[in-house]
Amino acid sequence: MVQLTPNPSFSVKLRIQGPNRAGMLASVVEAIAKVDGSLSTIDLIEQTLQVSVRELVVDAYSEEHAQSVVKAVESLPDVELLEAYDRTFRMHQGGKISVGGQQPLETASDLAMAYTPGVGRICRAIASDPARSYELTIKGNTVAIVSDGSAVLGLGNLGAEASMPVMEGKALLFKEFAGVDAFPICLSTQDTDEIVETVKRIAPVFGGVNLEDIAAPRCFEIEARLRAETDILIFHDDQHGTAIVVLAALKNALQLVNKDLSQIRIVISGAGAAGMAIAKLLRAAGANTLVICDSKGILSSQRQDLNAEKQVFAVDEAGDLADALQGADVFLGVSAPGIVTTEMVQSMAQQAIVFAMANPIPEIQPEKIRDVAAVIATGRSDYPNQINNVLAFPGVFRGALDCRAKTFTQSMYLGAAEAIANLVDSSELNAQKIVPSVFDARVAAAVAEAVKRVAIAEGIAHISD
């Protein structure tokens, strides 16, 4: 049975009022504990001789669980529930981003320069030299986050409108971690030709495009065509952002177990956008033995149902995931919850590394293999070693935009992974810490510098100073 862990994504805030007497708060805390709520914070808002008003934040593991917390507090005698709300829904109320001006607009002089007639001079300058749009408009620091809503997180094909909260969140992360302005472009089509054509038509506004939550295999063609048919940066984060962070984490994990990337057996569960990109980057980094499994088992040369992307990684052996894991040094899961058993991990090589990254429920719960695997990572923030794309994409775009790189390359991704890995000092490196925190202020700058350095060395940067 999967153990559910309370977390902030299902948290509620409760404002309560009760008599100002000993034991009152203790009764509230006890009621929350009895329904397995996780009390996060308690703030005293107001207190008189007669009453106390407090605000409590409680983490839950589902909407139903959150409601049970509310009901438990509500049922207490002498305690009045003044307000209760879902903190995640409240955060999204009205959206998470906004557009604001960078220049003052207070006088007629300001207006004359910002708009007519002065703006005409800027228009003519760009018409004479379109490259100046990078310096004279928002283009040089603006990214379009494009999705068709066909593969939203692990939730499936939810459509354009339902993908908006994810894309807004992505925009928030771009700005917060790298100072990049980004805007969600959620398309009401899932036709490859229409997506490509739409992005091509809006490309003049943006310095780059972050493709997001577009299902495989369509995402591969969309990225390839846009790179060929536009002159701006194109990056599919589900592929390359994930691959960069996985490689960074794996580099450090291999240091801990004293194994070499070129000599180990790596099993990847999931042959979608993330799985295939991870395989490609690992191969570029020097991995020689990669076995990929999809829902039908190992990508075997004996199978007749493999698309072109999968055929590249077809191997002679056949079987299911359990077969693939026997003797494997590394498991990388970007697939489905609960598909790996403790016995399967026990069949792996000594000092096994397990990255169970399915979200929100991993391929195997870390608690089940703590005494079996040497290093464990997940995609969740409530376990050590979170494999989170935010370690990669803000800095990757920051560096590429700063040097006006023509495109992204595998060498840039390898450089980004190395930069992330190097931020965990050897004195800090342990089984509970193989990647830096997403809040480590050094990350985006280090990744940006690495990406910029590689772009200049490869001769694909317009700006080299």
445 touches 271 (CB < 8 A): no
- Give ∠ CA 363-364-369 in degrees, rounded to 5: 150
Type of residue numbered 289: T
Q: Which two tokens stand for residue 356?
A: 């169970």
313 touches 340 (CB < 8 A): no
Nearest alpha carbon to residue 325 among 373, 284, 260, 380: 373
Active-site entry in 34, 71, 115, 296: 115
Which single residue is written with the structure tokens 């931020």?
423
- 170 catalytic? Reply is yes
Residue burial 194-223, b: 16+ Cβ < 10 Å; e: rest: ebbebbeeebeebbbbbbbbbbbbbbbbbb
Residue burial 31-43, b: 16+ Cβ < 10 Å; e: rest: bbeebebbeeeee
Mention every residue, 6+ apart, whose C-beta is less than 8 A from residue 439.
none
Nearest alpha carbon to residue 390 among 173, 106, 167, 71: 173
Active-site entry in 139, 170, 251, 280: 170
Determine whether 186 is exposed, middle or buried from the number of CB atoms within 10 Å of its CB (0-12, 13-18, 19+).
buried
**In whole angstroms, what is the distance from residue 144 CA to residue 428 CA?**
37
Active site residues: 115, 170
